[in-house]
């Protein structure tokens, strides 16, 4: 098995969107919008092309990761640049074989090499704690509603990068596409059945879970 991680090329775009759709279909909601997010992100000012990677197995793309700019607005109004990854997509047939981990670790090192200071993401803690992510509450970072959530996590890429900042995290609006255009966009892909399943309820509960941990 020949495994390769490389930067995404324009010729990969359609394949990557198909894989992203397969990876997320019915996972967090009936259907999905992650392939639409990827499609729109590439043309957005917050897209970080240098951190857009695909993973190949025997010269066939089986997964991808994309990054966008995010920021912290501190309590004094000062802004601090951060970055965010997602979606991270792996074809279902290749799950739990280390490909997602390889993509994430590769991209984190690439981000560090490019001089980025910190990564802030949304996701399940048990997925990302092994990479060094901790609850953003540790650094006094909330969402704009003022709440600290277990699913909002941070990883400083250099020592002290998030110390003594505190404030609110703002993700790129590219991560919230116009849902009224999703159905039309989806018509260009093979028809798939939208279903309700248990993972969707688990996701709804997870995104609203407040972080009550004491990080002192």
Residue 214 counted as domain residue: no
CATH of the domain at 110: 3.40.630.30
With bands split at pLDDT 50, 70 and 90, how would you rate the model's confidence at 216?
confident
Q: For residues 126 and 6, give the distance between their C-alpha atoms in angstroms, rounded to a whole number.
A: 26
Supply 198's token pair: 């248990």
- Is 133's pLDDT higher than 90? yes
What is the chain written as a DSSP string?
A: --EEEEE--GGGHHHHHHHHHHHHTTTSSSS--HHHHHHHHTTSTTB-GGG-EEEEETTEEEEEEEEEEEEEEETTS-EEEEEEEEEEEE-GGGTTSSHHHHHHHHHHHHHHHTT--EEEEES-HHHHGGGT-EEGGGGTEE-TTS--BTTEEEEESSTTTTTT--EEEE--GGGS--GGGHHHHHTTS--------HHHHHHHHHHT-B------
Residues forming beta bridges with residue 27, ordered by sequence position: none
Q: Is residue 70 part of a domain?
A: yes
Judge whether 17 and 39 are in contact, CB under 8 Å. yes
Q: Is residue 72 part of a domain?
A: yes
Does residue 216 fall inside a structural domain? no
Q: How far apart are CA 205 and CA 7, in angstroms?
A: 34
Residue 114 forms part of a structural domain: yes
Give the pair of three-digit tokens for residue 98: 């280390």
Residue 1 has pLDDT above 90, yes or no: no
- In this prediction, residue 164 carries a pLDDT of 86
Read off the pLDDT of residues 85-107 as tens digits, 9 standing for 90 and up: 999 999 999 998 999 999 999 99
Alpha-carbon distance of 147 to 142, in angstroms, equals 5
Look at residue 178 and tell me if it is in a domain: no
Q: Give pLDDT tens digits for 156-194.
A: 999 999 998 999 999 999 999 898 999 999 999 999 999
Question: Which pLDDT belongs to residue 97?
Answer: 93
**Does 118 fall in a domain?**
yes
Q: How many domains does the chain have?
A: 1
Report pLDDT for 73.
97
Q: What is the pLDDT of residue 79?
A: 96
Which domain range does residue 46 map to?
A: 3-173+196-207
pLDDT score, position 70: 98
Establish if 188 belongs to a structural domain: no
> For residue 129, what are the contacts with CB-CB under 8 A and spacing of at least 6?
153
Task: Say what percent of the chain tops pLDDT 90.
Answer: 96
Mean pLDDT of 68-83: 96
């Amino acid at each position: 098995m020949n495994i390769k991680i490389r930067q995404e090329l324009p010729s990969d775009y359609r394949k990557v969107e198909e894989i992203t759709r397969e990876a997320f279909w019915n996972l967090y909601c009936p259907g999905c919008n992650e392939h639409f997010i990827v499609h729109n992100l590439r043309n957005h000012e917050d897209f970080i092309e240098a951190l857009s990677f695909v993973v190949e197995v025997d010269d066939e793309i089986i997964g991808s990761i994309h990054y966008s700019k995010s920021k912290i607005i501190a309590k004094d109004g000062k802004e601090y640049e951060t970055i965010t990854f997602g979606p991270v997509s792996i074809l279902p047939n290749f799950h739990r074989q280390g490909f997602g981990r390889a993509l994430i670790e590769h991209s984190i090192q690439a981000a560090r090499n490019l001089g980025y200071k910190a990564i802030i993401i949304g996701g399940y803690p048990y997925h990302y704690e092994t990479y060094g992510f901790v609850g953003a509450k540790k650094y006094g970072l909330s969402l704009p509603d003022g709440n600290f959530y277990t699913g909002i996590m941070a990883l400083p890429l250099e020592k002290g990068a998030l110390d003594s900042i505190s404030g609110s995290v703002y993700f790129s609006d590219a991560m919230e596409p116009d849902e009224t255009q999703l159905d039309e966009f989806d018509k260009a892909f093979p028809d798939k059945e939208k279903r309700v399943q248990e993972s969707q309820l688990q996701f709804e509960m997870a995104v609203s879970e407040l972080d009550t941990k004491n990080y002192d």
